[in-house]
Structures are given as structure tokens and as C-alpha cells.
Chain A
Amino acid sequence: MARASRFALLAAGFALGVFSLAVARRGIGYSFGGGSAFAGAAELAAGYALLAVGFAAWMRPRQARLGAILVAASFGWFLVEWNNPGAGSAVVFTIGLVLYAAAAPLVAHAMLAYPDGRVGWWPGRLGLALGYAGSVLVLGLLAAAVFDPGAEGCAQCPRNLLLADGGSSGTYGSLNRAGIFLGLTWSLLVTVLAAGDLIRATPARRRLAAPVVVAGCAYLGLVAAEFAHSWHRGFLGFDGLDRRLWLGEAAALCVLSLAVVWAWVRAWRTRSALAGLVIELAESPPPGGLRDALAGVLHDPSIQLAYPLADGRLAGTRRKAVELTGEVTPIVRGRQQVALLSHRPGLLAEPALAEEVAAAARLALENERLQAEAWSQLEDLRASRARIIQAGDAERHRLVRDLHDGAQQRLVTLSLALRLARTRLGHGLDPALAERIDEAEDELRAALADLRELAQEIFPVILAEEGLSAAVEALAEAVPVPMEIITLPHERLGSLAEAAAYFVVSEAVRRDPVSTLKVSAARRGSRLVVEVEGGNMPAEITDLQDRVGALDGTVTVVRGPGGRATIRADIPCES
């Protein structure tokens, strides 16, 4: 409906309230709001509250349907006064006869259709159909067609325009009783349905809809009580109890209107917080800062952000694994799930809010998602490098053990056999042969020494068996340059970290074979820090960085005074 028409309806609604109260005051005995200033105020308050909230909802693109229903309900609320002798005009009186009971199904409709204006559930639709049939058709149109005010004892009533050829008191009474029976049935049915729906809803939806549904159910409960009270009387009337129930209904409708407004206020607060987020994010947030920014503006420190990867895993930022607990809302752009946001229950209850988060943080989300993806790929790559290195080390260790257990052992056995042969031959041995055997023994000893050196170069067994300290000490015994050992760790630190640290030291020794080296290795928390200081440290340390980087460690060269430099490796280790 055009904007202008909606404003016209708003104006009409206000006028309707004033006019209806005037009608009520002219026929106090047949009205709810005419009897006292308080009742009049209650009538206007409930009607205008519904009208204003309905109009406001109507102006919101997502709640236009709900707004129309609420505005209609406010009209229905006022029309209850029009089947009154004080109506003064036959047209007004006749409209009143048809629509005096229309408010209840309209309010029920608004409640079931909250928040988006649609009732997508067939039992709800059935209940509403019964409501409209009972209140507008049976109690309204059909009853009006047979109602003769004069015959029913209302001499001062205006003419009933729908009355065709004389009323029928009997039919009128039957229709009223049927309408009351239907009214009692549908009002109870819808109350039960709405309450059940609320209990079964997701926590987020429950939190959002509960105030409106509770107020609506209270209203419908009072309506049902009114129908029950009218059962014996045979028509809806205006006695003391009726008036008290009606006042209760007015209060329930005021609460219902406030509940709709309260949901807006909550959403508005979150939204204005999000507006703050846009500004904050504009100042180029640090990686991982989006979570903190969201936690700050939404006042929820428990917020976690995770980005779904192509392989189904979830990646966090700051290279940490994330676990999402509590309520999780997907943030969707187009058809793609960009991120998952876990938060305290109900924070993003209004469906539009998650979209607004997506819109406000669009660039930052995209940025962080790419970053998380990149980090996780890097992490995979690093783990793969570590596995390759570990497999290589294990293979070389196996080779060396084979050398020890195979070739070395056989050579020792061979030299033993040679010695035995020689003693067997005794003292009468030909000196030339004895010399040949001596030569062979010397050769064997040399072969064993070569083999030992080879094994040492392939893999330092002492590193795997006795640990970093023993291996570095053994290195210091073997190398041609003096090594000054400042400190070494006493405990084992995991084979990967130890192997990387040893590699740093042994490579430094290999490349700086002329100056005295100062070596230190110490554990600091969960890191193993190795420092080798020398006079001719190489500038090119790519292979060290490869080896240490595979464990997520770093290698740097720090140039000191007097041409000395320190290679510093920082390696994560087992604690």
C-alpha cells in the first residue's frame, strides 16, 4: 500500500478512536469504554497502542504484513462499541453489528504471525479460520441478517440495514449460541497452539517471540473467559464481569504492543553497536581483531569466530584451533557460508541481525577468512615438512644401526677370526705370512674407524639415544675448532626439537671451522633457544631456516661487535 494511504489510515484510526468513544458515551449501558473516564482511557490506550505499533511495523519493510494486521486489530478493538444505540446512524450501527467481535481473531492473527506477518503452520491457520468464521461470519454477518433491533427490545437503536424481510429471534439466538461455542473453541485452541509452538521453538526464536506470545495468550485467555461467561446468557453482553474482563484485555493489548516495541529496541541497540563496528573496522583491525571488535560492540565476551574451510574443517584466526560452543549463527553472503559465529543465546535472535553483521564486517570477514585459510594451509605445509624431516631422520638412524649391527659387527668378528687363526698357527709362523696378517689387521682397524666416521656423519646415534647435551658434548670432542659450551639442557626435549637444535650447532661448526665457538642451548618455557656465537658465521642460513622452520621455529643471525655473530634458533619443544 502506498505511503500516503498508510498515513491516511493512521489518521483514520485516531479519528475512529475518538468517534468510537463518543458513540460509547452516548449509549453507556451498551458500551465498555463509555461508563467512566478510566474505561475510556483504557479503550483509547489499547487501541492507539495497537494502531501506533502497527503503523510503525507497517513502515518497516520486513514487518509490513504484521503492521497491517495490527492496524486492523486496532480498528476491530474500537468497532466493538458501534453496535450501540448511541451509534446514531444506521450505517455505523450496521457496521458495528457485523464487526463488533472482529478484534479477537485479528489479535490472534497478529500473535501467530509474529514477527514476519506470516502464519506458515496449518494448525495455526485452521484456528484463525475458525476465529474469523465464528466472530465475523456467525456472530457478525449471519446474526446481523436476522437481527431486528425493535423486536429485540431496542426502541432507540438505529435501523439495521442488513435486515431484509423481518428478523427471526429464534435464528438470532441460535446463531449467537453457535458463535459463542465457536469462539470458546477457537480462542482456547489458538492459545494452546501458540503456547506449544513457543515451547518447541529454538531458544533464539523463543527469546524473540515470548513477550508477544505471552501477552497474546493472556488476551485470548480473557476472550475465552468472556465467551464462557456468555454461554448461559446466549449473547455477548456488558455486565460487571464482562467489563472487568474487557479491562484485562485492554491491559494485555498494551503489553503486547510494548513487547513488539521492546524487540525493536533490542535489535536497535545491537544494530547501533554494529554501526560502531563499521567505524572500528574502518581503522584497519589487526588479524583476529574482528572477534574482539564483535565481542566489544555486541557486549558478549564469549563470542567466537570460525571460518569453514573447503575440506570441512574450521579454522580460527591467530593460528589457533577454535571450538564453537553455545549458540552458533552462520554468517552467509550470497549462498556461501562465510563464517560461523558462536555467541550467548539470543544475541542475534532477529534474523536480520546476522545479515547486518555480515554487511557491517564484510571486508574484515572476507579478509580474516582468507587469512585463516592461508594459515591453515601453511600449517598443513609445515606439518608435512616436519613429517618429511622426521621420516628422513628415522631412515638415517635405521641405516646407521644397520651399519653397526651388520658391517661393523662382521668386521670385528673377522678381526677376531684372523687373530684366532694366527694363534692357531703358533710360533712356527712364516714371518712373511705373519706380516701379511698384521697388515690385514691394520686394514681392518682402519676400515672400522672409517665406518665409525661414516656412521657418525650419516646420523649421530648419541643424539637419538642420549639426547642433545650428550650429542653436543660429543661434537665438541670431535671437531677441530674449540667449542666453549656455556649451557646445555639437562632434560630430553623431544626428538624433533633436539635434532633441529643439533643441526644448527653442527652446521655452525661445519661452516666456521676456524674460530672458537660459544654454544648455549636452554629451554625457555615451551621453546628451546639455541645460540652459537662465532667469528665467521655464515650469512646464508636458508637450510637452517628450512630445518627449524619445519617445526614452526625461527633462525636469525645477529651481528655483534668485532665481526662476531650469533646464530639464534628458537624452536618449539616438548615440555
Chain B
Amino acid sequence: MRVVIADDEVLLRDGLDRLLTEAGFDVVGKAGTARDLHRDVELAHPDVAIIDIKMPPTHTDEGLVAAQQIRASHPAVGVLVLSHFLESHYAMRLIQQHPGGAGYLLKERVSGVGVLADALARVHEGECVIDPTIVSRLLRRARPASALGQLTGRERQVLALMAEGRSNKAICERLFLGPKTVEGHVRNIFTKLGIGESADDHRRVLAVLSYLRSAPQPQA
């Protein structure tokens, strides 16, 4: 898989390059600024771009903006944004426009080559990837007694995996369940939470995340 890396920190960029190369990825470009990143995407035809959320000049959200631009201009190129921020706000900003082929991981994931490789592969296949820490934080979040409390333990597990962007097939593999069983769980979850079911996997991520992000009114 062809990958470009955008990060203004040279040490990290080079380390990531070596790690990914050793794991069998083909690093075709390294950029320190959003402009260089766009040039690399244009010229090197990567499958996925790994982008740090903070880039020059202001070090606020240049990486996020660049990722959205790449999704819009090069639909074949997946983007994986690395961020220090746990807040789901930034992840939602990334996937709101183009939920497919986009991922949002916490930056410390770079050392876990297995997680990184998995996320890159999923983004490349057009899936949506949300960091499990962010999802579990949303699930743990304090809220008034809500429909979430009516879910069974298994259903909560399925919900979390859906929020991370996993497909039904991936959920089956993760939880060692049959496809029919998972489909049943998914239907139950949507019914209990009152979310309209969506055939599209990444639309499903958006719906679930939005539900988890909002603080629903306590049920009467």
C-alpha cells in the first residue's frame, strides 16, 4: 500500500517512515506542510495519507482542513488524521462531509504498528475509522437515564464497534458471532435508541456518533 506522511516534526516523520516500511508499507512521500502534502498527493498517487492535525503555520487545524480537501479532490485517496485531541468534535468535523475513507486516531497510536496497519487498511478500503478511546469515552460519558441503559452488554459491545467504524463482517470476527446474530443486535440497537437504520456503513457511523455525542433527554 502506498502511503504519504505529513507531519512537521522531522523525527516523528522519519520514525513513522521506518516503522511503516518495516511493516511492509510503501512510503511514497513525506511532507512538513499542507502545501507539500497536496503536492505529494498530486504526484505520488498514494492510497492513504497520514496527516498530523497540527501543521504550520498556525498549528491549529491545518491538517484537518487538508484532509477534508483531499477527500473532496481525490476520492480515491484515503486520509488518516493523527491528533492529540480526545474531544469527539474534531473527529466529527473530519467525517461529517465524507465519512468513508477517513480515519481519526490519537497520535500515540503510531507506536502500535498493528493498530496503525489495521486503520490504514480499513481507510484504504473506504471504511471509516474512529479511535476506540474516543468511542469508549463517549459511551462512558455521564448522561441522564437514557435508552442507552436498556442495551444489553453484548449490544453495547456491538454499538462501540459500530461507532469505531467496523462493518458487520468485522464485528462478527471480533465478537465470534454469526452474521445473523450481529444483524439482530444491530436491529435491536437501532430500535431501542430510535435511530433510523442505514444501509451504508459510514452513514451508520455518523448516526451512532451523533447519538452518542448528544446528551439525550431522559426518557419519560
Residues of A within 8 A of B (CB): 401, 404-405, 408-409, 411-413, 415-420, 423, 441, 444-445, 448, 452, 461-462, 465-466, 470, 473-474, 476-485, 516
Contact = CB atoms under 8 A, between A and B. Distances in A.
10 contacts: A404-B84, A405-B59, A413-B9, A413-B15, A416-B16, A416-B19, A418-B111, A420-B22, A445-B108, A484-B144
Candidate in A405, A412, A465, A483 with the most chain B CB atoms within 10 angstroms? A412
B108 A412 contact: yes
A482 B59 contact: no
B9 A477 contact: no
Contacts of B59: 401, 404-405
A411 B15 CA distance: 13
Contacts of B142: 479-483
A452 B84 contact: yes
B92 to A, nearest CB: 9
A465 B61 contact: yes
B215 A485 contact: yes
A419 B87 contact: no
A489 to B, nearest CB: 15
Contacts of B107: 408, 412
A225 B137 CA distance: 107
Contacts of B185: none
Contact of B87 (A409, A413, A448, A474): A474
A101 to B, nearest CB: 93
A246 to B, nearest CB: 92
A466 B22 contact: no
Given A419-B113, A473-B89, 12 more contacts: A405-B54, A408-B107, A413-B12, A415-B111, A416-B111, A420-B18, A423-B19, A441-B111, A470-B89, A473-B87, A478-B137, A482-B215
B215 A483 contact: yes
A215 to B, nearest CB: 77
Contacts of A473: 87, 89, 213
Nearest to B134: A477
A420 B215 contact: no
A143 to B, nearest CB: 100
A482 B144 contact: yes
A465 B11 CA distance: 26
A511 to B, nearest CB: 16
By CB atoms of chain B within 10 A, which of A409, A461, A483 has the most? A409
- A405, A416, A470, A483: which has the most chain B beta carbons within 10 Å? A416
Interface string B195-216: 0000000000000000001010
A420 B12 CA distance: 12
A477 B88 contact: yes
Contact of A412 (B89, B90, B110): B110
A427 to B, nearest CB: 13
Contacts of B60: 465
A516 B144 contact: yes
B147 interface: no
A366 B56 CA distance: 58
Given A416-B19, A477-B141, A484 B217 contact: yes
Given A466-B89, A480-B142, A448 B108 contact: yes
Given A408-B84, A465-B61, A420 B19 contact: yes
A416 B143 contact: no
A330 B114 CA distance: 83
Interface in B101-137: 107-108, 110-113, 137
A418 B60 CA distance: 28
A480 to B, nearest CB: 5
Given A474-B89, A481-B142, A412 B213 contact: no
A479 B15 CA distance: 36
A573 to B, nearest CB: 21
A107 B137 CA distance: 100
Contacts of A401: 59
A466 B22 CA distance: 38
B206 to A, nearest CB: 16
B170 interface: no
A477 B87 CA distance: 8
Contacts of B28: none
Nearest to B82: A412
A474 B138 CA distance: 10
CB-based closest 3 A-B pairs: A474-B87, A419-B111, A416-B15
A409 B9 contact: yes
A100 B176 CA distance: 136
Contacts of A415: 108, 110-111
Given A416-B19, A416-B110, A482-B144, A404 B215 contact: no
Contacts of A465: 60-61
B120 to A, nearest CB: 16
Given A413-B15, A416-B110, A423 B144 contact: no
Contacts of B111: 412, 415-416, 418-419, 441, 444
A409 to B, nearest CB: 6
A419 B54 contact: no
A409 B11 CA distance: 10
Given A409-B9, A416-B16, A423 B22 contact: yes
B86 interface: yes
A362 B144 CA distance: 64
A418 B108 CA distance: 12
A423 B21 CA distance: 12
Contact of A477 (B15, B22, B138, B217): B138
A374 to B, nearest CB: 42
A404 B54 contact: yes
A253 to B, nearest CB: 84
B78 to A, nearest CB: 22
Contacts of B54: 404-405
A404 B60 CA distance: 11
A485 B213 CA distance: 11
B114 to A, nearest CB: 11
A462 B144 contact: no
B12 A409 contact: yes
B143 A482 contact: yes
A359 to B, nearest CB: 63
A408 B9 CA distance: 12
Contact of B137 (A462, A470, A477, A480): A477
A405 B56 CA distance: 11
A281 B59 CA distance: 61
A516 B144 CA distance: 7
A476 B141 contact: yes
Contacts of B86: 452, 478
Contacts of A441: 111
Contacts of B88: 474, 477
B12 A412 contact: yes
Nearest to B60: A465
